[in-house]
Chain A
Amino acid sequence: MTATHPHARRRSGSRACVPDKATARPLVPGWTGTAPTHAPLPACSTDGTSSAGWHRSTRSLRRLILLLCLPLAGLGANPAWAQSDIVGEWEHRQHEDRNERGAGPDIGEYEGLPINGAARYHAERWSPSLWTVPEHQCIPHPADYGPNFSSVRIWKDVNPLTQEVVAYHTNIAWNNPVRTIWMDGRPHPPANALHTWEGFSTGRWDGDRLVVTTTHMKPAYLRRNGLPRSETAVLTEYFIRTGDFLTWVSVIVDPVYLTEPIIRSRDFHLNPGYQVELYPCSIDVEVPRPAGEVPSYVDGNPDIRQYAEEYALPWEAVQGGAATMYPEFIATMGQVAPAQEGGE
């Protein structure tokens, strides 16, 4: 989207006619509506002058109309922003990457992810029973995973003296984690500051995209099947509003467990009637186990190949790694045997 210059807006706003929708510059980039008018005005011609009849009116009538329109011109001269506003209730479209939604991925499902051997080793020994450990039960999705399927409310803090946006906040539905995206230019804290699930985020506008950088995230997961993400990861996000749609792009760089960035995009639809529901979480011991026990498979999950076998996928493919992200890998898949044929 191209930014609307205030002076350009002022010039266009002084026209005593209604711009054609197809050629009008939207007040908010991506917004398909037009500004409300306070009085009926004739349609514009293509050169911006008024249509038949009006340009042949008397000079006094033109002056009268000009006087009438001046207040409208003033309204149109409000400060124009280069960015969209992302505030609102946004409902997840739930149409991308099924394996990150609902019940989640299968055990051993890593294809298309640029993980390294250490991440794979960890995930092969991970047990879903870990979620039953009291300290794991109320962990919210971290900042780099939350947008995968949860709807979100976004609101902002505005300095009333300057009208500058100090911060945006997001609140996703699942477990209600609240993020703060600082817009006031503050630096990220030193290394030993507290890390949180949502991290420390700062934002800046790049044209009409809000670019957010997040550090200081607690160690968490890349996927809900044991693939780890370290506390050194840096998350870069792009919030792109197109009318009533919001595209939320996440780029995860983790020098510990990834060899290349993971890039995900998720789409949301503006739904002013949507309410983020409370998601209270209480910690309950439902599985009695010896004190200090933390479930895992010390020798690896014996069912780690089940996913590949069930879908007759090559073992090399489901093992993941950067190579499996690229189309060229498809050409090699015919050369490797499906897992149930012993193709390790």
Chain B
Amino acid sequence: MIGSRWFFGSVLALAMPLAAQAQVIGVPYDDGQRLPPQAPVLPPPPLPVLEGSPYVIYPVRGGTFMISGPSANVLVQVGLDGVLVVDTGPAGDAAGLLREIRRLSPRPIRYILNTNADADHVGGNVGLSGIGQDIGSGNERPDGVQGYGATPTLAHEQVMFRLLEEGASEGLPTLTYFVAQKDIFFNGEPVSLIYAPGHTGGDSLVMLRRSDVIAAGDIYTPDRYPELALDKGGSIAAYLASLNHLIALTIPEFNQQGGTFVVPGHGRLSDEGDIQDYRDMVTFIHDRVKAMVDRGMSLEQVQAARPSQDYDVRYSREAGDRFVAQIYTSLTQPPLADEATLEVPE
């Protein structure tokens, strides 16, 4: 009896400090202060539209904004360092775009980044770079004196090559890259240009890491089918790889939405939930066309089968036929000598 009492007493004596220790250890992790899953933090409402302006400014997060107008979307990042602009719209809209940018910041435009070489993405380079300043020279000269020619314009080298081929003499990229990624640091956050071909051979995603915002260019255009510019280095394989790369870069906050926001080349502000739907669509249509190609069907037979019919009602029959033809050609034509290849990230 005495032994039993001694035994249980000893166990209790040993257990009490352990219990106290467990309680101490458990406090930071189970103190009842943890919050349940919350609705994701979504962007605030758009700014009031200026009278007569075709643009709508959508705040995205922090100092980032999507300016959406009749043409390609523009991502603007503002801060103490100045203004960074991703894509510049068509040439004729530069003045209107600048007016909208000035609603967000009076500071100099320090960087222009281009996601591809299409006229609706680079057309405003001339108009906007002319009023900007190189950040490296901003403190060295009196007010009113422009930088060393113009605002630095960053893009993949294929963008510059293509613009030169098309005879452009101004608005060309001044800083190009040919590797997988080019990084700068601006307005307190890392900014990466990530090579992501598919629409053309020179597409870039632009990722603002602290803002957690990505400009996708024409690698993601939710209001239309992808445009595979096969004569400019585009391909369906690279396009799908880049879409999946974009998904790998985005992280939803809760309920498969929020978190990383994506400014598409055209269409609505998005998150991973939208891109996944778009990726599914491109994959489905690709898989259907590929199955028909593998059976030896001609392009006419494939188009007659209408493998994009469930999405043509979203976009258009004509656009669907064009997209199917681009996929068919991309799958059947020999790859260009310098066609981009990209590994899909795990």
Do A119 and B310 contact each other (CB < 8 Å), given the known contacts A192-B58, A195-B268?
Answer: yes
Asked if residues B276 and A194 are in contact (CB atoms below 8 Å), the reply is: no
Query: For the complex, is A191 an interface residue (Cβ under 8 Å from B)?
Result: yes
Asked if residues B269 and A296 are in contact (CB atoms below 8 Å), the reply is: no
Q: Which residues of A contact B58 (CB under 8 A)?
A: 190, 192-194
Listed residue (B56, B284, B312) with the most chain A CB atoms within 10 angstroms of its CB:
B284
Q: What per-residue 1/0 map shows which CB atoms of A129-142 lie under 8 Å from chain B? A: 01001011111100
Asked if residues B277 and A280 are in contact (CB atoms below 8 Å), the reply is: no
Q: Which residues of A contact B257 (CB under 8 A)?
A: 196-197, 218
Whose C-beta in chain A lies nearest to the C-beta of B306? A121
A/B pair count, beta carbons within 8 Å: 126
Do A298 and B269 contact each other (CB < 8 Å), given the known contacts A118-B310, A118-B312, A140-B255?
Answer: no
CA of A189 to CA of B73, assembled, Å: 17
Q: Which residues of A contact B73 (CB under 8 A)?
A: 192
Query: For the complex, is A177 an interface residue (Cβ under 8 Å from B)?
Result: yes
Do A228 and B287 contact each other (CB < 8 Å), given the known contacts A136-B276, A192-B267, A193-B268?
Answer: no
- Nearest CB of chain A from residue B152's CB, rounded to whole Å: 29
Q: What per-residue 1/0 map shows which CB atoms of B275-312 lie under 8 Å from chain A? A: 01101100110011001000000000000000001111
Do A192 and B310 contact each other (CB < 8 Å), given the known contacts A138-B255, A139-B255, A140-B255?
Answer: no
Asked if residues B256 and A192 are in contact (CB atoms below 8 Å), the reply is: no
Asked if residues A135 and B261 are in contact (CB atoms below 8 Å), the reply is: no
CA of A312 to CA of B34, assembled, Å: 53
Asked if residues A190 and B46 are in contact (CB atoms below 8 Å), the reply is: yes
CA of A215 to CA of B198, assembled, Å: 32
Query: For the complex, is A256 an interface residue (Cβ under 8 Å from B)?
Result: yes
Asked if residues A278 and B36 are in contact (CB atoms below 8 Å), the reply is: yes
Query: For the complex, is B16 an interface residue (Cβ under 8 Å from A)?
Result: no
- Nearest CB of chain B from residue A289's CB, rounded to whole Å: 12
| Partner among B46, B252, B268, B344 whose Cβ is within 8 Å of the Cβ of A292 | B344
Whose C-beta in chain A lies nearest to the C-beta of B266? A192
CA of A138 to CA of B276, assembled, Å: 12
Query: For the complex, is B313 an interface residue (Cβ under 8 Å from A)?
Result: yes
CA of A190 to CA of B346, assembled, Å: 36
Query: For the complex, is B42 an interface residue (Cβ under 8 Å from A)?
Result: yes
Ranked nearest first, the 9 interchain pairs of A and B with the lowest CB-CB distance are A122-B310, A135-B276, A178-B39, A291-B344, A294-B283, A192-B268, A118-B313, A298-B291, A192-B68
What would 30 A/B residue contacts be, using CB atoms closer than 8 Å?
A118-B310, A121-B310, A130-B280, A135-B247, A135-B256, A135-B273, A138-B252, A176-B37, A177-B39, A186-B45, A190-B49, A192-B56, A192-B268, A193-B46, A194-B271, A197-B256, A218-B277, A219-B277, A231-B268, A257-B313, A281-B255, A291-B244, A291-B345, A292-B344, A294-B279, A294-B280, A296-B284, A298-B284, A298-B287, A298-B291
